Structure 1
């Protein structure tokens, strides 16, 4: 497995108002309100989705393995639902109601499978603290329907006994490493090996996605730049597929997932009526 298994895209821009296809304008909180940077990872295998916002379809056929963002979004509240392409909203596979967006955070939202293979949404707060000169940050997130794993670099475990939906991280020397994922405590390779380039002053976030039972485990990577110790730009992440026009819509979904950070949650929905 080569580096091509890692999907990367350019960073998105900031927005204050989102205009939804067929819906009109949805205005965020006032410009002076605190905003969050949000990226989204689609890690549910074999499940392209349509995205509904406040009962209206805003995105068709978004593909698994893609990453969107980041965008800067002000605080707000939304009802979000994900359906299989073409299916009605009352058959949503995931939904979040009245999602309140917190301000001042850098968040990645993963739509993925839990350890039992059920779809879920998990938010992660990204560590955007500075790294020392010549260093890079490696963050590994277990978002696959798979047992505990060890992550190895050059055949040596660097993160051990990682379980879904947890993460492990560390600052390491910048450079290229050959990484793989093995079943915890064994040499049984589940994903990889792959050459992973860790650039100085950045964080590379690697997500294990898919299902061990279905034999479709894969990796998706997100880059967060601007972490040099010397003065530089404001830290921001890269995710998503540049130039597709879908980043804005997935940021709406990311806003919904941010609710999980303040005590809310997503659910698997079986009936959706009375949408506004």
Structure 2
């Protein structure tokens, strides 16, 4: 379901923000008509486990570290048996997690290996929104892939993405630039992750993954940027990889503590909600 409701936020500057510069962006060029391939990235969100990733018995990734996003790569459309093994134990061993994933032709997708809300390894496929955004705008997508309850994402102390549950995502189109934000338990002021400055690039889908485990106190954020969606001539296409910038909340941020968010939004931020949920 998609909605676009104007929301005007205004507040004073925040404190104690940790910069999350979105690392080397991946170009989200549209697939040509008739092409039967897709563009696929993989996000690793299972803490403490270096893995190898296989598709139909063929190795896609090796020694893949938690909190990172693999470079996007073309993949033939179809249904794949995706297996994630502890590094060095595939393909004949028992996978840590396995699932059949359908890859649609022409899609730009990210497969996330992560924990369920109750802490079990899971695979979830997300189709990335690479539709055009307006001049001066950025798309913010937040994906809840942590072993944690439902959360709200706040800007300026006010929730802009609400009631996000694992493994859902929610999206808003915002003004490009640096946005102080935090993640709180849904309907409360109890901070889960943050505050942090998110660097939202113009003409891009700036994807933020909330991953890790609340019980193990290792909640963190990782980011992925898909660029090339600007509608104005002043937009510049940025190339590069889909690597994620990751920050471990147990080391740097308050984790599930009863602390109100210090982040605030300077001036006014016009947000047009474009919410989408996938169960």
- Normalising to structure 2: TM-score of the pair? 0.71
Within 2, Cα distance between the matches of 1:11 and 1:69? 8
Q: What runs of 5+ residues in structure 1 fail to find an aligned partner?
A: 15-31, 242-276
Structure 1 residues 9 and 162: CA distance shift in structure 2, 3 A: same
Answer yes or no: is 1:92 the counterpart of 2:95: yes
Residues 53 and 83 in structure 2, CA contact (< 8 A), matched pair in contact too: yes
Within 1, Cα distance between the matches of 2:214 and 2:27? 32
Structure 1 residues 96 and 149: CA distance shift in structure 2, 3 A: closer
Structure 1 residues 3 and 234: CA distance shift in structure 2, 3 A: closer
Aligned to 2:26: 11
Aligned to 1:74: 76
Aligned to 1:2: 18
Within 2, Cα distance between the matches of 1:35 and 1:44? 28
Q: Deviations over 1:106-156 (max 9, x none)?
A: 111111111111111111111111111111111111111100111011211
Aligned to 1:111: 113
Per-residue deviation, 1:192: 0.9
Residues 43 and 113 in structure 1, CA contact (< 8 A), matched pair in contact too: yes
Residue of 169, 184, 187 corresponding to 1:185: 187
Within 2, Cα distance between the matches of 1:129 and 1:57? 31
Within 1, Cα distance between the matches of 2:62 and 2:39? 23
Within 1, Cα distance between the matches of 2:180 and 2:128? 24
Within 2, Cα distance between the matches of 1:35 and 1:235? 22
Within 2, Cα distance between the matches of 1:41 and 1:208? 11
Per-residue deviation, 1:63: 0.4
| Count of aligned pairs between the two proteins | 223
Within 2, Cα distance between the matches of 1:191 and 1:143? 13
Q: Which has the higher strand share?
A: 2
Per-residue deviation, 1:3: 2.2
Q: Which runs of 4+ in 1 moved over 6 A?
A: 231-237
Within 2, Cα distance between the matches of 1:13 and 1:187? 35
